[in-house]
Amino acid sequence: MLRADPLINKEHGSWAILLVPPLTTLLALSEFSLLSVIFFLTILSAFLTARPAEIWIQDIINKRPESSRRKNAFFWLSVYTSAAAFFSVILLAMTGRYGILLFGFAGIVMILCSQFLQARSGKTLGRDIAGIAGLTLGAPAAFYIHTGAVSPEALQLWLYNFLFFSSGAFYVHSVIEQAGKKESPEKFSITSKFFLNLSYHIILILFLLFIILNDSPAALGFAFLPMIFHVFASMVMLKGKANFKKIGFTLLGYSIFFGIMIGTM
C-alpha cells in the first residue's frame, strides 16, 4: 500500500545547497520574475526525485526483493519526475534556451553518482562532494535561463558556491569523526577527516587571498569569513559530543549570509 505522505529529502543542508546558489545569481542579476518562479519549480521538482531515487537504487543494488517500500519509492519518483518534465517544458516554451538541458543532465549525473556512492559506501565525504557539485549548478543554470549566456561571472558564481558548501561538508565530516570516537583519532593522519578539513581550508584561504589580491572584491572574503572562522574555532574547541541540530542551524545562517554577500558584491 502506498504511503499518503510524499517522500521528501530530510537533509536540511541539501535544501540550502539547492536554493542558495540560484538565489545568489538572481541577486547578482537584480532579477526576479515569473521566469524565476518557473525555474525554481523546475529545480525543486527535480530535487524531490532524489529521496525516492535513493531508496529505489539502494534496493536494486542491494538486490532486495520487490516490496511496498520500492513500489512507493517508484510511485513518488514518477510523480516528481513528471512535475519536473512539466515545468521544464514551460521553461523551454518561455525562453527557447535548450542549453538548460545540459545543466540538467550534468546535475543529474553528479547526483546519481552521489546516490550510487551512498548505496555502496554510505554517507561519505566523496558522496557529499559529488552531490554539491550537482546541486550548485543551479547558479550558472539560473544565469543562463535569465540571460541566455554562460559568462565568466556565471562560472564564478558556481565556483564560489561549490567551494563554500564543500567547506561545510569537510567540516561536518570532521566533526562526525571527532565526536564519534571514544578515543581521540590521530588528527594529523593523512586519512583523517580532521586533516582533510584542515588542508581544505588552508587551500581555500590561500585561493581567496590570491583572487582578492588580483582585483576580486574584498566582499568575497567576508562571505566566507564566518564559516572559515567557525571551522578553525571548532578544531580547537570541539571536545566530546557535538550538537548537530545546533550545527545545522548555524550552517544555515552562514549559507544565507554567504548568498547575500556573493549576490550583492
Range of the domain at 127: 12-264
CA distance 130 to 221: 24
DSSP helix/strand/coil, 98: coil
pLDDT value at residue 211: 92
- The reported pLDDT for the residue numbered 70 is 74
Q: Is 111 exposed, middle or buried (0-12, 13-18, 19+ CB in 10 A)?
A: buried
Q: Is 84 a domain residue?
A: yes
pTM: 0.87
In a domain, 235, yes or no: yes
Which residue pairs from 253-257 have beta carbons closer than 8 angstroms and sit at least 24 positions apart in sequence?
254/168, 254/226, 254/227, 254/230, 255/16, 255/20, 255/164, 255/165, 255/168, 256/20, 257/223, 257/226
pLDDT of residue 182: 47
Residue 37 within any structural domain of the chain: yes
Q: How many domains does the chain have?
A: 1
> For position 23, what pLDDT does the model report?
95
Whether 7 maps to a domain, the answer reads: no
Q: Is residue 172 part of a domain?
A: yes
pLDDT at 67: 67
Output helix, strand, coil percentages for the chain, rounded to the nearest 5: 75, 0, 25
- Would residue 230 count as lying in a domain? yes
DSSP state string for 175-226: HHHHHT-SSPP-TTSTTSHHHHHHHHHHHHHHHHHHHHHTT--THHHHHHHH
Q: Please indicate, yes or no, if residue 105 is contained in any of the structural domains.
A: yes
Cβ–Cβ under 8 Å, residues 125 and 196: yes
Q: Quick check: is 208 in a domain? A: yes
Which parts of the chain have pLDDT scores under 70? 1-5, 59-67, 118-119, 121, 180-191, 238-240
Whole-number pLDDT of residue 186: 61
Residue 65: DSSP 8-state:
P
